[in-house]
């Protein structure tokens, strides 16, 4: 027997319709690429999204066509989010931090019909235009007065505002199967070519419910949300969609992610919620530290920060609590997961714990949200205990997790039970908290035991003179591998290798202590801000540890 409920498709267009009707005056604030702060609201966002849908229809965009973007977090990018997917086409957000040849590869692989770009990327478009095989026109996301003077060869260069102005907002969102593709995002491709993850309307709306749930990210109409995580990075962790679902104010920083700009936008728009990777918050702290005259307690009203992309150092979690009274929601996910998998919310029973114990829990990546099944296994696929000690390969399944890559790249990616192997090594404790200990390809195996490079890195960043740290395994004749700590010092600070190792002695297991410390001016990162350890391993493959002679 089936239930007698109405069968309405879950579509992205319904999100912007709801926001315009029930939260029409709620602001969407952007730091524009042209310079000034721009203010709009959900009602105007719906109107211009419909104008855009009419414009794309006139250009010949059809159901299922891919439309690419090279753009920062701003109101025009939000219009593309809703206009493209709402009309039944596929929004393809391209990460501009990828290598140029990777951008060409994914635009061609996706068969993008049109490519919208922010002014920042005009020189890149001019360079890559001849290599884009399927793009029929490039659209500069600006007005006529700011149009870039670039050569796109035989392919037309159009003006975004001209497109919008030449079409009405009289557009009826089509109804279709909720499993229809809505957006496409490629992985950063640290090995081989990037692979495309194709989201559906259904998966996106279900994911939005999770972001708005109390045990998800808790986004609501009471929030002024500064979205630092890029709109081109796993759909900004789904927050643009969830914000429309609940009516949260959106604050979009554009291209200016330096500490001063983030501080001022947070202050001026009274942001109580934010989401971003640790790197941005390090710059934020740097600005605060360099300007002791700032009235931080008065200026900053942050209550919750979602930190993901890479592990949030404990020192960062502590500082947000101690200096700003803000709670860090340590979250974990992947492009392949839309991306939310776990959130680091505390349980009611933790309220009376000493603050240091609560920090211990917050340092973990959190508990699986409803909709994500999670397990850890050994290399033979046998499930391991959730005891907080066993390390295993982290596998996930759920309604917003990929079942395969676009055009079949990578082949079969699910096991017999439908689980996707994340490539992470993790523990699960009896309360359900998951902690990433490494990427499977980065784990250090020393004398038959595993060393968590992430734990060592987080401990090292706790030193007041350390800005960023990376740990890799280096060959050792006796132990197979031993950890090498690679460090960037904070400006004006100094520390020696022996001092750092002494600092770590009380913070990590003795046999995890690095055998050597190297200081560098910069560390390599992927296009999504993660440490590129493949490059570090290549750079230091011949590094001789001080302990090597004794082992030979």
Strands 480-489, 516-519: pairing is: parallel
CA–CA gap between residue 122 and residue 71 (Å, rounded): 11
CA–CA gap between residue 380 and residue 383 (Å, rounded): 9
Indicate if 136 belongs to the active site: no
The SS3 of residue 71 is coil
Residues pairing with 439 in the sheet: 424
Indicate if 93 belongs to the active site: no
Catalytic residue among 187, 343, 427, 528: 187
Catalytic residue among 62, 357, 445, 478: 445
Cα distances from 313 to residues 126, 186, 280, 320, 472, in angstroms, run 40, 27, 13, 11, 17
End-to-end CA distance of the chain: 73
Backbone angles phi, psi at 285, to 5 degrees: -60, -40
**What is the side-by-side order of every strand in the sheet holding 66-70?**
156-159, 137-140, 114-117, 66-70, 90-93, 181-186, 196-200
CA angle centred on 15, ends 14 and 20, rounded to 5°: 95
Residue linked to tokens 């809505």: 182
Report which of 450, 439, 426, 422 is spatially closest to residue 376, judged by C-alpha positions.
426
Contact 487, 469 (CB under 8 A): yes
Catalytic residue among 126, 450, 489, 530: 450
Q: Residue 388: CA atoms inside 13 Å, Cβ hemisphere, count?
A: 10
Tokens encoding 295? 């009235």
Q: Residue 208, Cβ neighbours under 10 Å: how many? A: 27
Indicate if 336 belongs to the active site: yes
Helices (H), 354-401: 355-362
Catalytic residue among 17, 269, 336, 457: 336
Contact 330, 285 (CB under 8 A): no
Backbone angles phi, psi at 204, to 5 degrees: -70, -45
The SS3 of residue 246 is helix
For residue 254, give the DSSP letter.
B
- The secondary structure of the chain in percent helix, strand, coil, rounded to multiples of 5, reads 35, 25, 40
Backbone angles phi, psi at 550, to 5 degrees: -65, -25
Tokens encoding 24? 């029409």
Indicate if 40 belongs to the active site: no
Report which of 311, 384, 370, 317 is spatially closest to residue 341, judged by C-alpha positions.
370
Q: Residue 495, Cβ neighbours under 10 Å: how many? A: 18
The length of the chain, given as a count of residues: 552
- Cβ-Cβ contacts under 8 Å for 550 (sequence gap 6 or more): none
Contact 44, 83 (CB under 8 A): no
CA–CA gap between residue 255 and residue 71 (Å, rounded): 9
Contact 231, 250 (CB under 8 A): no
CA–CA gap between residue 276 and residue 237 (Å, rounded): 9
Point out the residues that are catalytic.
187, 336, 445, 450
């Amino acid at each position: 027997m089936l239930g007698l409920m109405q069968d309405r498709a879950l579509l992205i267009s319904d999100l912007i319709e709801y926001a315009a009707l029930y939260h029409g005056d709620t602001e969407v604030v952007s730091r524009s690429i042209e310079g000034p702060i721009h203010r709009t609201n959900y009602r105007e966002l719906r109107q211009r999204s419909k104008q855009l849908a009419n414009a794309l229809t006139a250009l010949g965009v059809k159901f299922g066509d891919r439309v690419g973007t090279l753009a920062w977090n701003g109101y025009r990018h939000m219009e593309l989010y809703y206009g493209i997917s709402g009309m039944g086409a596929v929004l393809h957000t391209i990460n501009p931090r990828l290598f140029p040849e990777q951008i060409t590869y994914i635009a061609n692989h996706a068969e993008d019909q049109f490519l919208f770009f922010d002014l920042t990327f005009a020189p890149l478009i001019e360079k890559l235009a001849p290599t884009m095989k399927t793009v029929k026109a490039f659209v500069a996301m600006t007005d006529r007065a700011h149009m870039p003077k670039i050569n796109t060869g035989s392919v037309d260069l159009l003006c975004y505002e001209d497109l919008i102005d030449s079409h009405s907002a009289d557009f009826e969102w089509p109804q279709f199967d909720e499993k229809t593709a809505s957006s496409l995002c490629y992985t950063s491709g640290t090995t081989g070519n990037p692979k495309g993850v194709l989201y559906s309307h259904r998966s996106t709306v279900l994911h939005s419910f999770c972001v708005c749930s109390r045990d998800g990210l808790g986004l609501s109409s009471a929030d002024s949300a500064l979205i630092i995580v890029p709109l081109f990075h796993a759909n900004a962790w789904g927050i643009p969609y969830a914000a429309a679902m609940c009516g949260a104010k959106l604050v979009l920083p554009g291209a200016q992610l330096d500490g001063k700009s983030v501080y001022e936008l947070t202050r001026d728009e009274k942001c109580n919620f934010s989401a971003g990777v640790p790197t941005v918050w390090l710059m934020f702290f740097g600005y605060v530290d360099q300007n002791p005259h700032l009235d931080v307690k008065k200026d900053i009203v942050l209550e919750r920060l979602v930190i993901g992309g890479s592990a949030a150092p404990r020192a960062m979690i502590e500082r947000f609590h101690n200096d700003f009274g803000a709670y860090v929601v340590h979250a974990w996910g992947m492009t392949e997961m839309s991306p939310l998998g776990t959130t680091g919310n505390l349980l009611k029973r933790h309220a009376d714990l000493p603050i240091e114990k609560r920090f211990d829990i917050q340092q973990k990546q959190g508990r699986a949200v409803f909709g994500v099944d999670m397990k850890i296994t050994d290399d033979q696929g046998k499930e391991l205990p959730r005891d907080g000690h066993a390390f295993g390969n982290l596998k996930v399944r759920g309604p917003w997790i990929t079942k395969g890559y676009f055009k079949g790249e990578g082949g079969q990616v699910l096991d017999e039970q439908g689980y996707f192997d994340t490539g992470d090594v993790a523990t699960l404790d009896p309360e359900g908290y998951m902690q990433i200990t490494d990427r499977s390809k980065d784990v250090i195996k020393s004398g038959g035991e595993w060393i968590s490079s992430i734990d060592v890195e987080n401990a090292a960043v706790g030193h007041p003179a350390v800005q960023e740290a990376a740990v890799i395994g280096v060959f050792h004749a006796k132990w197979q591998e031993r950890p090498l700590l690679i460090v960037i010092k904070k400006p004006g600070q100094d520390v020696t290798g022996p001092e750092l190792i002494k600092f770590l002695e009380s913070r990590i297991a003795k046999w995890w202590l690095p055998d050597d410390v190297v200081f560098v001016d910069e560390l390599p990162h992927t296009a999504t801000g993660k440490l590129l350890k493949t490059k570090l391993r290549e750079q230091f493959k011949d590094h001789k540890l001080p302990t090597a002679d004794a082992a030979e």
